[in-house]
A and B are shown apart, each in its own frame.
Chain A
Amino acid sequence: MKNLESKKRYVLPGDFITTAPLRLQDNVVLEGKRIISTTIGLSDVSADSVRVISLNGIYMPKIDDLVIGTIQSIFGNSWFADINSCYQGMLLGQDVFGRGSYPTTSEMKERLDKGDIIFARIANSDRQREPLISIADKNLGKIDSGELIKIPPTKIPRLIGKHGSMIQTIEASTNATITVGQNGFIVVSCDETNGLLKALAAIRMVDEQAHLVDLTDKVKKMLEYNGV
């Protein structure tokens, strides 16, 4: 662990990371024999691969990511949702109404209207067209209430924590329900205003201090302190 930690370094775009022949993962490019960071983040060199954990990247849809979206428009037989990316997520009418169905616009509106929030899965994503999203699985679909907030998508793993430790900590001490999209959109709902504010403060703390090592402890302390 200690050995691994020591290989993590803060890097900026253009910074040289290593020359070893390694598998290139996220946010690195090979230039001759030099492996270079393409973003602001932490370099992570393992035995066989190298990546940079970005501190401020943009969300790019990947198949099977769970995301939160807000419906922007209905066009033809599809809804288009803002999924915090440079591309809108496309939700087909038949995903909701069943294969072979041709719902009218007003039927579609009734089910999901502009501004509605959905929890969805990225069903398909390629370079050619808008990423396809689906709400057909269980736990997916419209989110009825809560505050929609946004943090940099690169900080979502930090917010979830190891095996969900961070998010569970926050939920347990605030009685809030937090739905986390891998795209950086989060919906927080809580019956008590106090719990809601505390949960928002905790998420803000993760956002601001995502690059620190002992973050879970800090968040715990903050939640306990506010709880007194």
Chain B
Amino acid sequence: MGGRETDVVLLDENGIRSDGRKVNETRKVTIKVGVLKNADGSAYIEFGGNKILAGVFGPRDVHPKHMSNPDTGILRVRYHMEPFSVSERKNPAPSRREIEISKVLKEALEPAVILEKFPRTAIDVYLEVLQADGGTRCAALDAASVALADAGIPMRDMVCSCAAGKAADTLILDVNNEEDQAGQADMPIGYMPNFGKITLLQLDGVLTTDEFKKCIELGIEGCKQVYEIQKNALREKYFSSGDNN
């Protein structure tokens, strides 16, 4: 981040971005529920060029035993990128970046997941990035929340996620890879839509206080759009042959 010099035009004179979007438009998002046979819950998301699989197991026994908590269940999240998911082949072993993202995603989901009902157990969320295209953590969080619901894990709310940022001195929704590389700010947001609670927030880049507020507002709009797509994906699996709704 930091406004590197580039010959890419991030925003043309008509306010159109390098990939043809308007400033307040997200990339195309599609979600499919229940794509894996063995996982208790699963989802596949395509968020622009991001392709991510989410699988949930549990509640189940905790190994090693000492990690278990007699009063509550625990949530474990693993965010992992495949060697072929990025332009230069990635070493399959987890990097510091992946470990940090795993942690912030866990903490973004924890406020929503009702863990107290399952003492001594673990709920495992596995997020596998098959192709990365900027904004993988938001897309992974969107898929994780859907997979948790698909696994029947009780939740106070869904968690939906989208980034907002700044490129060519303009606030933009859903920062893509190019804009992340050459733009001025990238701020991934995770949001519990029915509680109005922000559970994931990071920022790379520079914003004024006023821009910061506007950027969050813009990001929340994106989150709400993704929330509708999450709901439709779940309805598709669970309610589609019904005559209700």
Indicate whether A and B are direct neighbours in the complex (CB within 8 Å): yes
A residues near B (Cβ < 8 Å) are 8-10, 12-16, 27, 29, 31, 36, 38-40, 54-58, 60, 86-87, 127-128, 152, 154, 209, 211-213
Residues of A close to B90: CB separation below 8 A? none
Q: Which residues of chain A come closer than 8 Å to B129, judged between CB atoms?
A: none
Query: Complex formed: what's the CA distance from A185 to B155 in Å?
Result: 25
Cβ proximity bits B42-67 to A, threshold 8 Å, 1 near / 0 not? 00000000000000001111000000
Residues A60 and B238 in contact, CB atoms below 8 Å apart: no
Q: Which chain B residue shows the least CB distance to A152?
A: B152
Residue of A with least CB distance to B157: A14
Cβ contact within 8 Å between A56 and B238: yes
In the bound complex, do residue A36 and residue B238 qualify as a contact, i.e. CB atoms below 8 Å apart?
no
Contact pick for B61, options A10, A57, A86, A211, CB 8 Å:
A86
A10 touches B155 (CB 8 A): no
CA distance A38 to B59 in the complex (A): 16
Across the interface, which residues of B come within 8 angstroms of A12, CB to CB? 149, 158, 231, 234-235
- Interchain CB contact under 8 A, B156 and A31: yes
A38 touching B156 in the complex, CB below 8 Å, given contacts A9-B244, A58-B59: yes
Which chain A residue has the least Cβ–Cβ distance from B160? Answer: A14
Which B residues are CB-close (under 8 A) to A14?
112, 155-158, 192-195
Residue of A nearest to B33 (CB): A40
How many A-B residue pairs have C-beta atoms within 8 angstroms? Tell me: 87
Interface pair B154/A15, CB less than 8 Å apart: no
Among the listed B71, B152, B193, which residue makes an inter-chain contact with A56, where contact means beta carbons less than 8 Å apart?
Answer: B152
**Are B238 and A211 interface neighbours, CB within 8 A?**
yes
Q: Is the CB of B119 within 8 A of A127?
A: yes
Q: Which residues of A contact B149 (CB under 8 A)?
A: 12-13, 39-40
The answer for the CA separation of A116 and B151 in the assembled complex, in Å, is 28
CA distance A86 to B158 in the complex (A): 23
CA of A128 to CA of B69, assembled, Å? 11
Complex Cα distance, B240 from A55, in Å, reads: 13
Indicate if the CB atoms of A40 and B195 lie closer than 8 Å: no
Knowing that A39-B152, A87-B120, A211-B238 touch, tell me 16 more A-B residue pairs with CB under 8 angstroms. A10-B242, A13-B112, A13-B149, A13-B155, A13-B157, A13-B158, A14-B155, A31-B195, A36-B156, A57-B152, A58-B59, A58-B152, A86-B60, A87-B121, A212-B241, A212-B242
